[in-house]
């Protein structure tokens, strides 16, 4: 006999479990279906465990440069297995936290794969594709996330060509690694493996690293990564990968030239596609295109009236905080709460390599393409007393303002822990704060955050610390 609910969420990532909790808070009898681990990709094999690995790399790098700070350290080494174990322990702790939240909010959890039998019923299947539960609900929220995209000529096999999940669970540290794709995933793993001693080659089709970012950011990261000893191949493609004994031979094409690079493993980091297959969407008429379910961006309703979709499966940007916000808005709409629609041009993006990258809004190029006359200011961390004291002078803050009205069009940062600085910009833009208001807002000294104010001052010709 089918179980009855007001709301059933399919998928328990940062979109799904947050939606379920908010639904329960609003009085809905709520269920959630998860085929693997509570917390989804982000908590188990994505955002959280990768940040734990990156922290291990940061600690290693700090010890490596301890002499620069007058601290003598002898005989240290990277314990690759220990780093992996710590990462898994962090992920497991966070997943258990979601389990606690489900119980605390009286949300019934069903383990298995959710497949639509009709628009009003989802069957829960076990590993043998046997139906173990039938769930009826007034409303369903699809939050099935996304999976690594594969290049047609380079299928992921888990041995020669691996994805990000495998990269964070390798049994042995590779001596040489080729990374295909220089987006957030690619450059984060590049930093981790390079820092602990792996010889890293990055291959990117576009002409700069992190190509979705402002061009100045990609250029700066490229310079820093080359200084760290990475082999950067932009404007290039991987044509083929061939097994050669215990390793691989990777054919890289740059323009008309081809070169074979030897490696132990190839990491494919060329983006993700929404998990739309095998969950019965075609049978009930839910429309999707190129791995993204089509939704109304205010209510998240799909082409079927009682079915909604949020997070990665509803299209980019593929960010955990975007998924969570969509989940909250979705269920608040269901409850008649009339939430503020999400501003998709004010979602911050963060990349946790070192130096970190954070951005929000228009790049300089995008703002000009939209027809704005812009004021641009840039403040390098080499002129920051706090950054100099920390020993992290690389990078800068770049701001873009509309010349006519002072609207803050965008902000782009690269530097040590700048992901902690971007929230100021998000709030300021949400409140329609102008450039002069940022300049007049007193920022504490010495901090990394005052670089935001300094960059704004540079945009308006009021900077005092660059001598220009």
Per-residue burial over 170-188, b if 16 or more Cβ lie within 10 Å, else e, is beebbebbbbbbbbbbbbb
185 has binding-site annotation: yes
Q: Which two tokens stand for residue 421?
A: 């600085």
Give phi and psi for 301, each to the nearest 5.
-70, 140
Answer yes or no: is 33 a known binding residue: no
| 422 is known to lie in a ligand binding site | no
Q: Which helix (H) or strand (E) holds 21?
A: helix 16-25
Exactly one of 412, 417, 445, 465 is catalytic; name it: 445
- 463 annotated as a binding-site residue: no
DSSP 151: B
**Cβ neighbours of residue 134 closer than 8 Å, sequence gap 6 or more:** 1, 2, 3, 117, 121, 122, 123, 124
How far separated are the first and last CA of the chain, in Å rounded?
75
Tokens of 392: 């992290």
Say how far apart CA 324 and CA 304 lie, in whole Å: 22
286 is in an annotated binding site: no
Is 428 part of any known ligand binding site? no
DSSP H or E stretch at residue 282 = helix 281-284
**How many whole angstroms separate alpha carbon 411 and alpha carbon 394?**
17
145 labelled as ligand-binding?
no
Is 280 marked as binding a ligand?
A: no
* CA–CA separation, 282 and 276 (whole Å): 9
d(CA 79, CA 98): 29
Classify strands 108-111 and 30-34 as parallel, antiparallel or unpaired. Answer: parallel
Q: Is 46 among the annotated ligand-binding positions?
A: no
335 labeled part of a ligand binding site: no
Residue 339, classified by CB atoms within 10 Å of its CB into exposed (0-12), middle (13-18) or buried (19+), is middle
Confirm or deny that 158 is annotated as ligand binding: no
Q: Is 39 annotated as a binding residue?
A: no
140 DSSP β-pair partners: 8, 307
Catalytic site includes residue 445? yes
- To the question of whether residue 179 is assigned a binding role by annotation, the answer is no
Q: How many residues does the chain have?
A: 468
Catalytic residues: 445
Binding residues are 51, 114, 181-188, 204, 271, 312
Q: Annotated binding residues for FAD, as ranges?
A: 51, 114, 312
Binding residue numbers for NAD(+):
181-188, 204, 271
């Amino acid at each position: 006999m089918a179980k009855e609910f007001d709301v059933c969420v399919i998928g328990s990532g940062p979109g799904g479990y947050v939606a379920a909790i908010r639904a329960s808070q609003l009085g809905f009898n709520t269920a959630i279906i998860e085929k693997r681990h509570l917390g989804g990709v982000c908590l188990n094999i994505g955002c959280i465990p990768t940040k734990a690995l990156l922290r291990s790399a940061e600690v290693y790098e700090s010890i490596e440069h301890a002499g620069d700070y007058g601290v003598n350290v002898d005989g240290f080494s990277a314990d690759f297995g220990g780093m992996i174990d710590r990462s898994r322990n962090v992920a497991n702790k966070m997943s258990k936290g979601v389990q606690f939240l489900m119980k605390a909010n009286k949300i019934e959890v069903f383990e298995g794969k959710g497949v639509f039998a009709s628009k009003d019923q989802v069957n829960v299947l076990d590993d043998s594709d046997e139906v173990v539960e039938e769930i009826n609900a007034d409303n369903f929220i699809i939050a099935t996330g996304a999976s690594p995209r594969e290049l047609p000529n380079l299928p992921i096999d888990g041995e020669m060509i691996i994805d990000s999940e495998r990269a964070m669970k390798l049994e042995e540290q590779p001596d040489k690694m080729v990374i295909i794709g220089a987006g957030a995933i690619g450059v984060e793993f590049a930093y981790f493996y390079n820092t602990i001693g792996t010889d890293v080659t990055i291959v990117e089709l576009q002409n700069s690293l992190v190509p979705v970012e402002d061009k100045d950011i990609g250029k700066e990261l490229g310079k820093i990564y080359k200084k760290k000893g990475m082999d950067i191949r932009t404007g290039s493609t991987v044509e083929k990968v061939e097994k050669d004994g215990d390793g691989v031979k990777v054919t890289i094409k740059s323009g008309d030239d081809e070169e074979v690079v030897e490696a132990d493993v190839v990491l494919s980091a060329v983006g993700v596609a929404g998990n739309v297959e095998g969950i019965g969407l075609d049978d009930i008429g839910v429309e999707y295109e190129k791995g993204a379910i089509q939704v109304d961006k205010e209510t998240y309703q799909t082409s079927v009236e009682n079915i909604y979709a949020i997070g990665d499966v509803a299209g980019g940007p593929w960010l955990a905080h975007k998924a969570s916000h969509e989940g909250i808005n979705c269920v608040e709409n269901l409850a008649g709460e009339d939430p503020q629609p999400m501003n998709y041009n004010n979602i911050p993006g963060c990349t946790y390599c070192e130096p970190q990258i954070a951005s929000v809004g228009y790049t300089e190029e995008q703002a000009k393409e939209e027809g704005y006359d812009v004021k641009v200011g840039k403040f390098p961390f080499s002129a920051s007393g706090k950054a100099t004291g920390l020993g992290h002078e690389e990078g800068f803050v770049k701001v873009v303002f509309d010349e006519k009205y002072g609207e803050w069009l965008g902000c782009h940062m690269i530097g040590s822990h700048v992901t902690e600085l971007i929230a100021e910009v998000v709030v300021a833009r949400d409140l329609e704060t102008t450039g002069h208001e940022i300049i007049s807002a007193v920022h504490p000294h010495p901090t990394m955050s005052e670089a935001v104010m300094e960059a704004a001052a540079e945009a308006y010709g009021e900077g005092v610390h660059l001598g220009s």
